[in-house]
Structure 1
Amino acid sequence: MMLDIKFIRNNPEKVKEALEKRHVKADVDKILVLDERRRKITGDLDEARAGQNKRSKGGPKEPAELARLAEASGVAREELKKLKEKIKVTEEEFKTIDQDFESAMYSLPNIPFEEVPIGKDEKENKILREEGGKPKFDFEPLSYIELGEKLDWIDTERAAKVSGTRFGYLKHEAPLLEFALINFTLARLADKKFVAKVVKKNKLSTTVKPFIPLVPPVMIKPEAFRAMGKLDPGQEEERYYLPKDELYLIGSAEHTTGAMHMNEILPAENLPHRHIAFSTAFRREAGSYGKDTRGLFRVHQFDKLEMFSFVKPENSRAEHDLFLALQEEMMRELKIPYRVMLICAGDMVWTDAKQYDIESWFPSQNAYRETHSTSNSTDFQARRLKVRFRNKENQMELVHTVNGTAFAIGRIILAIMENYQTKSGSVKIPKPLQKYMLGIKEVMTRK
């Protein structure tokens, strides 16, 4: 389960309102009935086991007591037998109810914050701001697909021959640009001074603690994936599963980074515990039939840099603000025009209480396209992961989890190509990346 059952008991109408806001159908009343039955059966079990223990206890006895017990032993044995049978039946009943209860609890998404806009899908997301001047060309801008052909950077034709649709080869300077973006990101997020600059600039009430670099596994056990909330309704069809190994391929470094501290108690003094994780990610794009079928914008395999934090509950909102500020600061450095979106309840990821997206400008499409996301999942993931800390009262408390895209590398390369193109079809390299690109400042056409 990912919502607190105590919260549901005390706030059933609030949960129903949240479901309506998110356009999710789930039976809260059924959950409460199952919860009541489950608690009653738990009480019956405890009572029966206590009776069994009482009747099973032995010890030194006086001769008169032994004689009395011997006379009553037949009755006692019969009572003990009945108790054992009752316990067995009740345990089976509990197992069935518990499975039904857990399944019903998994049908509930996170509760949106009050400020999350009401809406059904992406059309009702709220534009918060636009940043960066859109490039003004004195020519018709080419698409990244056309530029990829001219530069010989992208080969989807041979990738289709080898791997199928929605795959591609990156060639020549394109891989250098990928690793430049990785180094650019790590040099900033792992640097306390950079984090401090962003905290000060945005007047945030949070620590300047840097991010710990991480390369996590790209395969994950079903129980860990489920605990992260990534096998919940509508999500499993997006996943690649390896049945012989009983492992899934991750769709983001978030998935194995978040599960890293499953069943652990984190030292309170180490919170927030921040990671910047790099991994290859895999998605079926099952719900994207007919969308972006050409090119590399929507693919089955891509590389991604992901921010992730385990944080105290009272600090998760500030942590989420920091993640968005870091995303924006790096986008401004690269001078890629973008806009910030506050995602409506119906379009939010299942695990999230609040979500922002950043969309980068693509001149050839005259449109903004999603390249980043950042989410506050509150204690929704931590509850199933059982990641806790001891608070000031020395009581166990669940952490909150916050995640955010540093860069979906492939998509940002495409945005750079389109925004930094020239009339001749060459592409200039953003100045902050040049030192990671063997000094290359501009890539000329090859075709």
Structure 2
Amino acid sequence: MYRKWFPRLFSLLLLIGLLCGCTKQDFTYIDAKQGVARVYCTMRGADGALIADSNGSVASVGSGFFVGPLDQDPEYLITNHHVVENYIEEGQGEWVTLPTTDGGSVTLKTYVDIYFDEETSLPATVVAYSETADVAILRLSTPTNQRIALPLLPPTEDMIGSQVYGIGFPGLSDNLAMDAATQNGLQDMTVTSGAISRLLSSSGSGVRRIQTDMVIQHGNSGGPMVNNQGAVLGINSWAVTDEDSLEQNYYACNIQEAIDLLDQYSIPYALAGSSASNLPYIIGGAVLICAAVVVAAVLLTKGKRGKHASQPLQKQTLPAPERVQPRDTAAVGNPQDSGYRIQGTTGALAGKRFLIPKTDPLILGRNRDLCNVVFPNTPGVSGKHCAVWFKHDKLFLQDLGSTHGTFLKNGAKLFPNQPIELQVGDSFYLGSPLEAFVIAEKRGS
């Protein structure tokens, strides 16, 4: 009898599983508004009254965006240094006594507040900053569910000409009187669009910038520049007007400057391609699909026990050499040479080729005792990051539980300890596209 209703039950469970797995919609630049908030920096006296700075302004106002694991309430956000400059220079949240122009003195304290709407805000402190790069990292007094963390993606040369979007609260000067009309909610943000004109580094300081034709106005300072998928490429900073042509050029700080600061202070963040935010949907769909498969297996084998002995699947395991041998160059005439190489295309090992042996895995990371492709002290690369190996005439790549992940060229993040097959010409990167490799064949083969 089960043959009559089983196909219907199986189809229903399969459909529900697929729907659960697909419920999460693709993240877009519009969704990135959920990770942006307004930043207020003020100075107040002992009586709570606002005190003007040397420019006569009683508040510095800009935008900021949240970073952190995509599946957790965020507590860190990024903005421009100049938005919170008064906080950094005038006591950093402590009571200080400063001289006044009339020969007297004033006792004051600086505050940074993050506004989510007209009635909801949280205090924050500055935990790291770079005046040269014009980047500051703030930390809320407590994690918030009012906003989400945004994924980060360092821009590369092949992105020049691609569409980008600026999100923030323009229309207000970064320095303004507090009685000016302000709106702080999600519906009050604006989104402007343009394209990446070029990637450049400032002469002298070497700070990495992005030039764009996307309009950046006062109040946008500290807000994110994102791509179509809502990944943050830069921090909107300022506009420069040419004195002769009166043409305006707009600039954002390359997000890699912020990533370097996050790494320096061990502050968590997510790079584009992370699937953590999709896990509830993936797990829900997987559970229901597995249930359908189990029901099918039980019913189809009912009454047939003993006729066929099931064979357990052999789990793919990563071969581990007894001793790691360095392989900085391709060996000539090596009988263990598989005929394949990985070649660095960007970053610390750009231009170097490493042979993939027939036996031992090629392990990439910073730990010289555990790896045979060793990186210098490179941000985003773990001590034992990932492995490439050759088996049964196939090439495999596996993330080894790295902190910042291993990604394919298209931004897809590998699940830890789950190998995938690679082909010649496939590219992958460690942590960010700045540390990338391509699979190549032995020269002359």
TM-score (norm 1): 0.24
Greater helix content: 1
Bigger relative contact order (CA 8 A; separation at least 6):
1
TM-score (norm 2): 0.24
Greater strand content: 2
